[in-house]
Chains A and B, each alone.
Chain A
Amino acid sequence: MSDHDHDHSELSEVELRVRALETVLVEKGYIDPTALDAIVETYEHKVGPRNGARVVARAWSDPEFRARLLSDATSAIAELGYGGRQGEHMVAVENTPGRHNLVVCTLCSCYPWPVLGSPPVWYKSPAYRSRAVIDPRGVLAEFGVELPAETQIRVWDSTAEIRYLVIPMRPDDTLGLSEERLAALVTRDSMIGVGLPLSPDSAEVR
């Protein structure tokens, strides 16, 4: 992909700039190197889309939780122990047979970190940010999702500090599955709105 070729050709130049900045900020005492390690540890191992998947699985399993999630997502998500930076003001939006939700940040890269982790490269790319608001069906097709023409599409452009989490529709044939097994069906992309959850069959294969 062109993005990666580009990264590659600039790698040494960027790498030097990052290293110089980090070194100077540490040497001057502004930044504690062990704090950097703690940040890396948090985002590589504690925060990520498995958190959001547990939220969705709980919503699928527990109607009262689902109602709380739809009325005050920040508090409901905190019940599972998730929250904080870039998830301070959460709103959950629910897909239904008649309506599909899709989330974008056309102006930068706003994304609900506590439940989805750091955004993938494509979410921050000009290609996604430019098209999501004008041609979401074309975007969905690129992700292999085709919705009926009569399905209403709602795009949420995160232009302020509200962060959106899509609650995808619960797949068929999942009656009686535990929350843990349901969570395994919930993909990151389905919580952004560019994908659908896995079916129980495909999840077994994985």
Chain B
Amino acid sequence: MNGAQDLGGMMGFGPIAPEADEPMFHHEWERRAHAVTLAAGACGLWNLDIGRHARESLPPAAYLSKSYYDIWISAVQKLALRTGMVDEAELRSGKAIAAARPVPGKWLAADVAKALAEGTPYTRPAPAPALFAAGATIRTKVMNPTTHTRLPQYARGKSGVVEAVRGCFVFPDSNAHGGGEDPRWLYTVRFTARELWGADADPSLEVSIDAFEPYLERA
């Protein structure tokens, strides 16, 4: 979706202002928000892509004004409500009222190190050979889905070169919406800055994205 998360090439956000010796968390609530986000996800009612879509579909003004851990926790609130883990009255009162619903998973303390160390590999067996090889010239599609996609607006309808074939991966556009993993080939696709930004662009710049096969067509 063309939401506020799709920031590449936007202007007016001011200086980046990196903070020297930045702490990992600025407030105790950020520490809790980080841990709660991971532990709630481990219950198994949503996946990574559903989580990302919950964040990017926050209202644009909220997305752009919240700190990032607030975006995370706001998305977890939304997903916990949507999946019936909690209800509004519980979140208002901060107390459990209704009975818990069954969930597929739960992390105990002893599970955490192993689960984080294993991660969640997103590669899958390929259902078909890759359409493109490294070195191929391609064009990204012009598309504006109202649903989750990982093709940024700045890189739509652009001509580029396949730099690497990364393997077959879970397809976020499907996996974010209950459509299953629907594995697709993933490519690193390189563009010149002039192709992306026009004649005044920095001639020494190239930008790549990692693009799923359905985002690409033959040039």
Contact = CB atoms under 8 A, between A and B. Distances in A.
Contacts of A162: 166, 186, 188, 210
B211 interface: yes
Contacts of B186: 160-162
Given A24-B91, A40-B31, A125-B16, A29 B116 contact: no
Interface in B102-134: 103, 106-109, 111-113, 115-123
Given A153-B206, A162-B210, A130 B8 contact: yes
B61 interface: no
Contact of B117 (A7, A84, A121, A131): A84
Given A7-B27, A42-B113, A84-B119, A36 B36 contact: yes
B152 A107 contact: yes
A88 to B, nearest CB: 4
B18 A39 contact: no
A39 B38 contact: yes
Interface string B15-34: 11111001011111101111
A105 to B, nearest CB: 10
B43 A83 contact: no
A21 B36 contact: yes
A75 interface: no
Label chain B's interface by main secondary structure. Answer: mixed
Contacts of B25: 44
Contacts of A205: none
B181 interface: no
B17 A133 contact: no
Contact of A83 (B85, B115, B119): B119
Interface in A110-158: 117-118, 120-122, 124-137, 139, 142-143, 149-158
Given A127-B16, A133-B207, A39 B150 contact: no
Interface residues of B, number: 100
A23 B108 CA distance: 16
B16 A3 contact: no
Given A18-B73, A35-B112, A161-B122, A127 B5 contact: no
A126 B119 contact: no
A36 B13 CA distance: 34
Contact of B8 (A127, A129, A149): A129
A10 B209 contact: no
A157 B80 CA distance: 30
Identify which of A20, A83, A161 gathers the most chain B CB atoms within 10 Å of its CB: A161
Interface of B: 5-11, 13-19, 22, 24-29, 31-36, 38-40, 42-43, 52, 55-56, 64-65, 67-68, 70, 73-74, 76-77, 80, 85-86, 90-96, 99-100, 103, 106-109, 111-113, 115-123, 150-152, 154-155, 166-167, 169-170, 172, 186, 188, 190, 193, 196-197, 201-202, 204-212
Given A15-B28, A88-B120, A161-B210, 13 more contacts: A30-B40, A35-B112, A36-B36, A40-B31, A44-B24, A89-B169, A125-B16, A130-B10, A135-B202, A136-B205, A142-B17, A153-B204, A157-B152
11 contacts: A14-B67, A19-B32, A30-B43, A30-B85, A35-B112, A39-B34, A117-B24, A120-B18, A139-B16, A155-B208, A161-B170
